[in-house]
Chains A and B, each alone.
Chain A
Amino acid sequence: MREGTRIGFILLVTPLLLWLTLLIVIPHIDMLLISLRERVGVGEYQFSAANYLTFLQEPLYLWTFLRTAVMSVTATLITLLVAFPVAYYIAKMAKGRVKSLLFLLCLVPFWVSELVRTFGWMILLRETGIVSSLLQYLGLVDGPVEMLYNDAAIMTGLVYTSMLFMVVPLITTLGSLDDAVIEAGYDLGGSGPSILREIIIPHAMPGIVSGCIVVFMLSLGNYLTPTMLGGKDSLWFTELIYSQFIVRFNWELGAAFGFVLLFLSSFIVWAMLRLTGQTLEKTMG
């Protein structure tokens, strides 16, 4: 029996180790090594931090990086603000059939590819699009208005695309809040806002954190939405990575950019977990 469990253990741990080492750990180490080398001749490389210096010294790169980070944080906050009342409504106000129907309706758009969702926003927002035509029909504007290719369009798309990942964890945590606790709050003389602040939000914290982490990650790493809705000059960091790898074929610089992006996202995730006293196992698993 002992021997049997041992063999079983080895059989089970092998696929896991193969997956994690060959597809996650070693590729990232290799990427780090490549980002830390500089081409000095044909097929000759030497160890240097030149790529990271380029990133820090070139204003366009640094600016794009900061812009992407700030826009992603903004998109996360907007998503949270938009999603919270809806999640609360579904979790606490709706009952029975209506509740499951509303929950299902929230999921529906996300069974569809992000490309389709973005395409829908393009049809709505472009110069010949629905919104522009509607405004003209109502007499609010004189000519066609171009609503694509600006930051507001990117923001709309980002918030839309990641809505689900905020709504679902919020519904789950809010659903586990006992109505009696809220009633007790009222009995003790609490008002709507104070109960929201003292009872509901602290209880929903794990959901808020995991929702924010996922939405932030998705926004930061998004390529499709900024490219399609923001146009050629949308200045999103993933576009820089793509162009270094596929267009310019400068893998060393591209790898360095990749690491900078990875560093930022890990840092923010770590900081959020730290600030709220959560762990990755609890929020993700």
Chain B
Amino acid sequence: MIPTIPQSRPFRFAYSAYVILFFLYLALPLLVVTVFAFNDSQFPSLPWEGFTWNWFFGDSAPMIGVFHERPILRAIGTSAFIGAAVSLLAVAVGVSNAFLFTRHKFRGRGLLYVLMLLPLVIPGIVLGISILVFSSTVANSVWDSMKWDLEVLRPGLTLVILGQFSFIATIATLVISARLQKFDQTLEEAALNLGATRLTAVRTITIPYLAPAMVGAFVVAFLMSFENFNTTLMLVGSDAPLTIAMFDRLKEGSTPLLNAVSLLLMLGSSCLALIMIAFQRRD
């Protein structure tokens, strides 16, 4: 079953047909979401009532477009803020972990490495509730002993950021470690021989080498944070990020407004993906 081994014609035909069907299956849901963002109707379903931009730019009821819908715009802002915070934290901790695991040999290293991988195999909703439970335990005991109400530890932005960080940090660590392992350490030694301090050597040689992986990890972390639903659902407070806001609307019934938001999301993430690919290419 490789090109150099001849196969019967019907077999090859059936195989190609299967692969084409598979890609149709992948594309179909995204295609309908896109198409119905432009339907001039209250519902994202047939019949087709004609083409309209109103679900993007409309400013009067019943067709208020995305760019005039305050709650959605605010939710996008919240998501972007959470995403940036989570990615910054994850990349910082990821770089530190990568140096630790590739440069240092110490007792308990294997155990710590497995522990570091664990967040990937814990269901997101369980991560969410465990952090919710622990933060309330801390907040309650602080209140009981000192009568301080620690707002930070109640469901809200901080907890969402911590919750998402708790597993996205693993991904950032893996992405950055993979590149650091390929680094030729004699380059750093050369810098040391030329009189650089260890810190200068790392700053001027190793970090620039790691930059593509850091950008990659940042983009992946940002997208994962933006899309995250399970962990966020358990930790969210009054200011909901976009996925939660859209979920709440979807439960009440959908309008093509949601299609328009989805289309913008698709465009946004494709742009980020392209930026990332361009960055990796340049290297």
Residues of A within 8 A of B (CB): 4, 8-9, 11-13, 15-16, 19-20, 23-28, 30-31, 34, 82, 85-86, 88-89, 92-93, 95, 102, 105-109, 111-117, 119-124, 126, 128-130, 133, 160, 163, 179, 182-183, 186, 192, 195-196, 200, 213-214, 217, 220-224, 228, 238, 241-242, 245-246, 251, 254-255, 258, 261-262, 265-266, 269, 280-281, 284-285
Contacts and interface: CB of A to CB of B under 8 A. Distances in A.
A88 B253 CA distance: 41
Contact of B254 (A24, A28, A119): A119
A105 B23 contact: yes
A128 B270 CA distance: 30
Contact of B265 (A28, A113, A122): A113
Nearest to B36: A123
Interface stretch (B57-65, B66-74, B224-232): B224-232
Nearest to B22: A86
B246 interface: yes
**A contacts with B: majority SS:** helix
Contact of B165 (A23, A124, A163, A217): A23
A238 B123 contact: yes
Q: Which of B22, B96, B169, B262 has the most CB of A within 10 A?
A: B22
A111 B117 contact: no
B33 interface: yes
Given A115-B250, A116-B30, A221 B124 contact: yes
5 contacts: A112-B266, A113-B243, A214-B120, A245-B129, A280-B121
Given A4-B198, A119-B254, A23 B125 contact: no
B26 A16 contact: no
B45 A128 contact: yes
Interface in B132-167: 132-134, 137, 162-163, 165-166
Given A16-B112, A111-B270, A266-B121, A254 B129 contact: yes
A116 B125 contact: no
Contacts of B30: 108-109, 112, 116-117, 120
Q: Which of B26, B30, B166, B227 has the most CB of A within 10 A?
A: B26
Given A106-B26, A112-B30, A220 B133 contact: no
- The 8 nearest A-B residue pairs measured at CB: A120-B29, A221-B123, A27-B134, A27-B130, A111-B269, A23-B166, A12-B100, A113-B227
Contacts of A111: 223, 266, 269-270, 272-273
A186 B5 contact: yes
Nearest to A259: B126
B2 interface: yes
Contact of A223 (B115, B125, B198, B223): B125
A265 to B, nearest CB: 6
Contacts of A266: 121
B164 to A, nearest CB: 10
Contacts of A238: 123, 125, 230
Nearest to B112: A16
B46 A133 contact: yes
B104 interface: yes
B166 A242 contact: no
Contacts of A241: 125-126, 129
Nearest to A262: B126
B43 interface: yes
Given A113-B265, A179-B4, A241-B129, A262 B122 contact: yes
A231 to B, nearest CB: 11
Nearest to A95: B3
A281 B115 CA distance: 10
